[in-house]
Amino acid sequence: MTRILGALRTSSTPAIVLFAVTFALTAVVNPRFLSPVGQTNFFGSYLPLVLVAMAMAVIMVTGGIDLSLGAVMTLVNVVFITLVGHGVPVVLAVAAGVLAALAVGAVNGLLVSAGRIPPLLATLGTMFVVNGICLTVMPVSGGSAPTEMVAGYASGIAYIPVALIAVVAAIAAWVVFSRTKLSLRMYAVGGDATAAYASGLAVPRVTWLSYVIGAGIASVAAMALTANVATGGPDIAGTYTMSAIAAAVIGGVALSGGTGSPVGAVFGALFLGLISNLVLSLGISSYFVSAVTGAVVLAGIVLTSLVRRDSALLSWRRTAAPQSPSAQEGAPA
């Protein structure tokens, strides 16, 4: 528990602060944002990004990156919608989509861990392959998700949106997982793979598992996206990869690995959603939304990096600070 709280204080705090400030500003500019409908729409729209940002963070913690996560989400979407359209039971269609995502994650993990291919190149290649498969399965957008699935996703429990409950559940799940040996090994591999290998850790296995777990979380994100948009498309999640990376970095997850928490990525993703919401609430033309959002995201990343650098510098100074005269006098000669 001490390690979890420490991680929140050092790496996730800037993202949490950015989220809180932007949430307050959005509520002031657009009072309807705080209504049950407003909250349902917001969390329903950005739960997929929250989940895929967590997936990206899991992989980044081990020192990797996965450019195919957006394509994986699309693959799950088109497989699910296509199978449901052919009369396949929903449970089996969900299982097929999840298995497809896990297969891609397993391939990525093998290419990186066993093939020693740089993660950027390996996942870039699989991204193109998966995109081609998606176009083959569903050349044009179409189909529809089950009505019960869409209605359930947009509902609430005691005025609390289901999507918000899912966000809290995702954070709780990571808190539980972070106490496992596998989590510690992932941070060890991301911090220094050579040292982790020398200490006896199965580095290739841990790396492979990170990609499989990330793909599994991305499949859940894809189901949330499908329930939200209620249809399928061959490029329905094309923009999610870059947004997930941005959310993870804003959340304090280091691109070099070994530092950060998926919890920070959650707040980074929510911050991105709030920025888009705030820009639209201010009446800024939709033509400039992407530019304004990008500028704010860049500023958020820079702020997060500066805070993390200052925290590391302060920690180093405390460690390197000379001992007090009384401590030196008491030290053995």
Domains of the chain: 2-312 (1.10.3470)
pLDDT at 230: 93
pLDDT tens digit sequence for 25-49: 999 998 899 988 999 999 999 999 9
Average pLDDT over residues 203-227: 95
Q: In 3D, which of 60, 104, 109, 111 has the Cα closest to residue 209?
A: 109
Rounded-to-integer distance, Cα 212 and Cα 55, Å: 10
Q: What percent of the chain has pLDDT over 90?
A: 59
Report which secondary-structure segment, H or E, holds 292: helix 289-320
pLDDT at residue 5 is higher than 50: no
Three-class SS of residue 35?
coil
Q: In 3D, which of 106, 76, 105 has the Cα closest to residue 93?
A: 76
Output the DSSP codes for 248-264.
HHHTT--TTSS---HHH
Angle formed by the axes of helices 90-113 and 69-85, to 10°?
Answer: 150
pLDDT at 313: 60
Three-class SS of residue 156?
strand
Average pLDDT over residues 223-238: 94
Q: What is the mean pLDDT of the chain?
A: 86
Average pLDDT over residues 302-323: 61
pLDDT at 286: 66
pLDDT tens digit sequence for 125-171: 999 999 999 999 999 998 899 999 999 999 888 788 999 999 999 99
Rounded-to-integer distance, Cα 214 and Cα 53, Å: 9
Rounded-to-integer distance, Cα 60 and Cα 254, Å: 7
Rounded-to-integer distance, Cα 26 and Cα 8, Å: 24
pLDDT at 4: 43
pLDDT at residue 124 is higher than 90: yes
pLDDT at residue 328 is higher than 60: no
Q: What percent of the chain has pLDDT over 70?
A: 85
Rounded-to-integer distance, Cα 72 and Cα 245, Å: 15
The tokens describing 18, both together, are 């950015």
pLDDT at residue 310 is higher than 80: no
pLDDT tens digit sequence for 180-209: 999 999 999 998 888 988 888 899 999 999
pLDDT at 89: 95
CB atoms near residue 82 (< 10 Å): 18
pLDDT at 9: 52
Q: Which residue has the higher pLDDT, 290 or 160?
A: 160
Average pLDDT over residues 60-88: 95
